[in-house]
Structure 1
Amino acid sequence: MTRKFPSAARVLAAAASLFAPVAAQAQSVATRDPAGSGPIVAALGWLQGTLLGNVATAVAVMAVAAVGFMMLTGRMNWRFGATVIVGCFVLFGAGAIVSGIQGAAVG
């Protein structure tokens, strides 16, 4: 009796099915706000939009440019200038920083 081997197309299809992405069946965490916190959440959302919006971005760009110019001309301490620039990174990276901390705490 002779043995019949599968075709190359069938082998490739089987290999591809092993590496196909599958939807994760993870549990979702309910992030509902406590009762009565609607106005507080809305105010904090407004504050976040203000701090991370177009106006804040323009102000941060001008501040970094001014600090950089003053550092280049020797009118500002390098340590204070670096503090201003790091502060801008922390301000605009706050969402990613908090997400990373929450991910480390949960996982």
Structure 2
Amino acid sequence: MERLNGYKHLILGNHDRGHSLAWWLNVGFDEVSEHPIIYKNFFFLSHEPMYMNKHMPYVNVHGHIHGQKYAGVNYFNVCVEHWDYTPLTFEQIRDAVVPSEEQA
């Protein structure tokens, strides 16, 4: 954990609940959430894909789906297997899901 750059926020998933929140903080996470969170009024961050309807103004950034990419315009799968085990920035995710003319 100490070799990873940036602020590390863990959203607990199905394999993470065997430890206490304090344990994860001691491992090196800056924050630990038991539930999904909204970041910058655009990103809906969760461990696994959550239901998103076309009226929701968020993109669900999630993991959990390891073997395939989860399809849908309101979803972005950040499982490390899909990104050559390289972290992505929120700007990279935004740029991938928002057409450039809408970003201006």
Shorter-chain-normalised TM-score: which range?
under 0.3
User: When you count helix as a share of all residues, which structure comes out higher?
Assistant: 1
With structure 2 as the length reference, what TM-score do the two structures score?
Answer: 0.21
Q: Max radius of gyration: which structure? A: 1
User: When you count strand as a share of all residues, which structure comes out higher?
Assistant: 2
